Every structure is written in C-alpha cells, then in structure tokens.
Amino acid sequence: MPPFLLTWIHCMQSFRLPLSDCLDAAVTAAHAGAAILQSYAHNRAELVIDKKMRNDLVSQADREAELAVIEILRERTPQLGIVAEESGGQTSGAATWYIDPLDGTTNFLHGIPQYAVSIALIAHAGALIEGDTPLQHDTPVIGVIYDPNREELFTAMHGVGAWLNERRINCSQTELLSESVVATGFPFRDFSFAEQYMPTLDYAINNTRGVRRLGAAALDLAWVACGRYDGYWEMGLAPWDVAAGTVIVREAGGICEDMHHRDPWPIKGYVYAGNQHTAPALDAMIQPQLKKD
C-alpha cells in the first residue's frame, strides 16, 4: 500500500466521531433553520424567488435558513465537511454534513404545509464510529428531519435507533405490496428518466392500496420510518434530499438503498425504501425499468 494512503488511513482512524455531540448540533441547527422558514411562511408575498432551473425554485428563506444551519454546524463541529443545497461545499475530514435547509420548496412557496429542514452526517470510509474497526465505505450515521408545521422532529443515530420527538419509531409491518400505501415523487426538474419512471408509477397504482405524492422527499422517507407509509421510491433527487432519510429509515428497521445497487447509500438520488417486505417488492418493480449503463 502506498505510504501516503497509509498516512491517510491512520489520520482517519485517529479521529472517532462523537455521534451524540453531532446529533445535538444537528438538532439545534434544524430548529434554527426552521425558525427562519416559519418567519417567512406568513409573508410569502414578500419573498424574492429565483429559478435555478425549470421547476427548481429558491428564495431568501432557503438561503437564510441554510446560513443559520451552517453557522451552528461550523461552530459545533469545525472539523467536519459541509455540503449544502444552495451554497455547495465539499466533503472533507472524517465526515461531511449534507444539508437541505428547505426540502419541499415549491410547497413552501405555495403555502402548502409539507416541508422540512433535513440534515445528515455521512461518515467517510476509514472513520471510526464504534469499536476499533474503521468504516469500509461512506455511511450515513446521523439523520435529522424537522417538520415545523407539525412540530415533528425525526432523528436517528447509526447503530442506536430512530425517534420521532424522542419516541422510538419503527417501519410498518405490512408484508404485501397489495396492502401497502406507498409514496413517490414525479419528475420535476430532469425529465430524461421519465420513461423509466412512468411504468413504475403505473405498476404501483395498479398493485398497491394507494400512491401518495406530497412533494417533500425527506418527509416521505421519515414517514416510511415511522410507519405512515409502507414504501417510497423516487428518481433524480440530490444527495441532500435523501441522506438524512436514509439513516432514519435504516435505524427504524427498514431498507433504504440505491436503485442501481452500486453505492452504499442513494447518493445519486435514485432511491427506494420500505420495510423488510415492501422494499424488496419495490426493488422488483423498479429493476425491469432501469436503464443499464
């Protein structure tokens, strides 16, 4: 092994991630970001809205909430990297924060109370989080999703569990897709994968108890984790859309994976999630439609 790689591994292994402290920091940051969002929620007419691309909007509410979140995380965890939806950033150190200051921007701007602040910590390969064995690949280890309208705080810590407002949560026990209520998201920004997606929607409409589309991916995943939904799938998302929800679903006893089964978490935004029965059924629904590289 090259000397520089040995040095890098040694440095990564010498730093053990303080997960409890990181979770506390993320919860504080989520509340701070949400307070800014809610201060704008009743004055939407005054918001300055920019269009990043078709159907992809941003306002000063997103930007100010993101700044508040970043300020707290930088102060509390200066050694960690930050990647945020509006300001960008880069991975660094033993772990990186992934921040979506306003998941469900279109809902927010139209006065639909279905949006959240989403914060996740991804520990990088080589980092120590428990015991003395370094991680073999990048792993979501902290997830925080805060819904300020319902005052619901979803949290999870790798290897410990998932909670809703400090109450332990678990995925549903539904075994059959035909008895499941599932959630999805339609193509809204990139329509190049529509021909892959539409057959899955048609199948789900005809083979489940119902399909819901509420427009906030983080909350869709959180609702899988607490058993409101039995499953969820979506294509074309960004990593900050799914990072927090991934660890929350997994710690609630569920499955949340990359549709292509290439990455250790759905970093490329092709995600499916559910309990131990429904997730494999969704995967079987999706696989015949995916384009193979």
In three-state form (DSSP H/G/I as H, E/B as E, the rest C), the secondary structure along 101-118 is EEECHHHHHCCCCCCEEE
Q: Where in the chain is the domain with CATH 3.30.540.10?
A: 3-168
* End-to-end C-alpha distance for the chain, whole angstroms: 31
**DSSP assignment, residue 113?**
S
CATH domain 177-289 topology = D-Maltodextrin-Binding Protein; domain 2 (3.40.190)
d(CA 41, CA 108): 7
Cβ atoms of 220 and 185 closer than 8 Å: yes
Give the residue ranges of the annotated binding site: 85, 100, 102-103, 241
User: 284 exposed, middle or buried (CB, 10 Å; 0-12, 13-18, 19+)?
Assistant: exposed
Give the residue ranges of the annotated binding site for Mg(2+): 85, 100, 102-103, 241
Query: Tens of pLDDT along 209-242?
Result: 999 999 999 999 999 999 999 999 999 999 999 9
Place of tokens 């910590």: 121
CB under 8 Å to 258, separation ≥6 — which residues? 264, 265, 266, 267, 268, 270, 271
Q: Where in the chain is the domain with CATH 3.40.190.80?
A: 177-289
Query: Tens of pLDDT along 24-74?
Result: 999 999 999 999 999 988 877 666 666 554 544 457 888 899 999 999 999
CATH of range 3-168; options 3.30.540.10, 3.90.226.10, 3.40.50.300, 3.40.50.720: 3.30.540.10
d(CA 261, CA 29): 32
**H/E run at residue 119:** strand 116-123
Would you say the pTM of this structure is higher than 0.75? yes
Q: What integer pLDDT is reported at residue 10 of this predicted model?
A: 43
Query: Residue 38: what are its φ and ψ, rounded to 5°?
Result: -70, -25
